[in-house]
Structure 1
């Protein structure tokens, strides 16, 4: 099984780094987060994320296979959101092959949403 994790470094500037992840399907979102963090710390192409990856605490479904891409290129306004307290098994959360997940800091996302409403 493979999914794409979209690490959102900056909502305001639309900075998203894509990371393909190979899985068996038995993992939890906590396992995915651990794999992402490990790769950020060891792979040069993810170096821009190193200073803030420790603040990432939320996953949100960006798009599932067969769905059209959302109009917002940074994050989907709709879709399931998973805070670190409910990082269950991927199969239990209905995260399937080809799903794109956004991974980000929830407080940065809340600020972004507030700024969008105010604009």
Structure 2
């Protein structure tokens, strides 16, 4: 575990070094084509544009995840309501059958739930 942390730490440092070198190289290249202050402003503008794109992507993904969690919550509520309704309907006429049906439905929905979790991974 420590070895992986060290390797990833070194990789992050090297990636940041490469990124900084790329930004400086871009600024130097642009300064040969335009005044240096405009070259730096251009590099900063590009960085701001990339930041905005990343923020929008993160917002879209968060909204999607929120919708999926809401759908899963509604499905779980529907399953619970179905178990309750079935049990109550059977309990009036056949209480022993109602207990067995409740146990069976709970087991079926538990198996379905574990199958849903496997698909998310």
Q: Normalised by the size of structure 1, how large is the TM-score?
A: 0.23
Q: Normalised by the size of structure 2, how large is the TM-score?
A: 0.23
Is the strand fraction higher in 1 or 2?
Answer: 1
Answer with 1 or 2: which has the greater Rg.
2
If asked which structure has higher relative contact order (CA below 8 Å, sep 6+), I would say 1
Is the helix fraction higher in 1 or 2?
Answer: 2
